[in-house]
Amino acid sequence: MIRKLSLLFAGALMGASAVSLVYGTNGTAANAAGSETYRQLAIFGDIFERVRAQYVTPPDEKQLVENAINGMLTALDPHSSYLNADAAQDMRVQTKGEFGGLGIEVTMENELVKVVAPIDDTPAARAGILSGDLIEKIDGEEVRGLTLEDAVDKMRGLVNTPIELTVLREGQSKPLTFTIVRDIIKVQAVKSRVEGDVGYIKISTFNENTSDDLKKAIERIEQEVPADKLKGFVLDLRLNPGGLLDQAVAVSDAFLERGEIVSTRGREATDIARFGSEPGDLTQGKPVVVLINGGSASASEIVAGALQDHRRATLVGTRSFGKGSVQTIIPLGENGALRLTTALYYTPSGQSIQGKGITPDIKVEQPLPEELQEDVATRGESDLRGHIRGEGETDEGSGSIAYVPQDPAEDEQLKYALDLVRGVKTDPAFPPSPDKAVLNQ
């Protein structure tokens, strides 16, 4: 059950996550609307007044306006939306990578919040919260009936404020009560470990800390394994829904010596921005294998596409999600923010990923557990209603199964990547030759 819920929650993030360019202004002036546009706006005003005055129960007027705005934006594409003040603040928290909270990774199981793991050196870990604990109540309020997002919101809060958790623990006959004081929690965007003679790096999101955390992870691995013993690196981008564009560029740059990483193209033919790399490969040219699947979207596809086109890494896994659009966040002051699709991005070879995804160099399927066989289907950007049809998009579409087992011993894609780096398995695609890079001229 925990695997199923974790998988579905990750999938839910895919539709909302975006590569974001955050502007510090409150937007730009729009072109003047024509008379027909004003006539339509008058119709909207008339309908709004009739609903407000005559609907069977008095509607929430603020909610009516927000829903109307969101209706307009979601009709454009699945990733444009209006963020009210609370949603805009939550987005800033996610991109900043730190918040006031307890420090636990959670999922839902049997209508209760289950602790996947407490994060080291956080209030939850110090209070004695353990993996497998089931949170039954939050400040005396039953968790049953809440969504996972609602429960997480309740556990977050101002630093130095207390919260009481009622916990069910296996082996304990009575519920346990913990009073925990919130502290600043930094999201672990990057996790790493050594797999014998191979460095394994998992990037789960692209927030403001990702590139710095990546550098630290590479340094830790190189300190633990001597250079002459280190065979290479596995960069895991599976189930990574994306994040900030500048962080995707910085992560790609960490493995590249030169060349374009990504370009974005907007509404006008001249609206093109190019992002390049600077000299300095942090891995000293060691072989790299990148893992992708149907849960790899947006910023993670930028990284995968750049390293693949430059022939710096070999991609292993299944086709990525295929979200190749850029969302600009336009602040609206105290009224929140507008998230608007303003451009599409292209890999160094000039290929659009939108609705198509990144195809791995070596396809390796991850077997699904029997209990998930009927519940999990292939899903990608091309399956989203109203998505922008990408250049080169075909009926085959984008995406693939987005599942990663929690136990590395069951992870066939990871095992294949490790065998590839160690030379146990061979393939013409590994190691790739930078001399054969496919770049847009």
Task: Indicate if 309 belongs to the active site.
Answer: yes
Contact indicator for 403, 366 with CB cutoff of 8 Å: yes
Task: Indicate if 80 belongs to the active site.
Answer: no
Residues 210 and 180 in one domain: no
Contact indicator for 305, 279 with CB cutoff of 8 Å: no
Contact indicator for 291, 364 with CB cutoff of 8 Å: no
Separation CA 314–CA 233 (nearest Å): 11
Closest of 327, 24, 12, 30 to residue 147, by C-alpha: 12
Contact indicator for 307, 287 with CB cutoff of 8 Å: no
The residue annotated as part of the active site, out of 309, 320, 325, 411, is: 309
Supply the pTM of this predicted model: 0.82
The residue annotated as part of the active site, out of 17, 211, 263, 298, is: 298
Residues 358 and 406 in one domain: yes
Domain range enclosing 127: 98-186
Residue 332's domain is classified under what CATH number? 3.90.226.10
The residue annotated as part of the active site, out of 114, 202, 323, 356, is: 323
Residues 111 and 197 in one domain: no
- Distances from the Cα of 125 to the Cαs of 47, 120, 122, 131, 318, in angstroms? 54, 6, 5, 10, 36
Separation CA 148–CA 111 (nearest Å): 9
Residues 314 and 366 in one domain: yes
What is the total count of domains within the chain?
Answer: 2
Domain boundary among 186, 213, 245: 186
pLDDT tens sequence for the chain (441 residues): 333 333 333 333 333 344 444 444 444 455 666 788 888 999 999 999 999 999 999 999 999 999 999 999 999 999 999 998 888 888 887 788 778 889 888 888 888 999 988 887 899 999 999 988 999 999 999 999 888 888 988 998 888 999 999 999 988 999 999 999 999 888 789 999 999 999 999 999 999 999 999 999 999 999 999 999 999 999 999 999 999 999 999 999 999 999 999 999 999 988 999 999 999 999 999 999 999 999 999 999 999 999 999 999 999 999 999 999 999 999 998 889 999 999 999 999 999 999 999 999 999 999 998 877 776 778 899 999 999 999 989 999 999 998 899 899 999 999 999 999 999 999 999 999 988 898 875
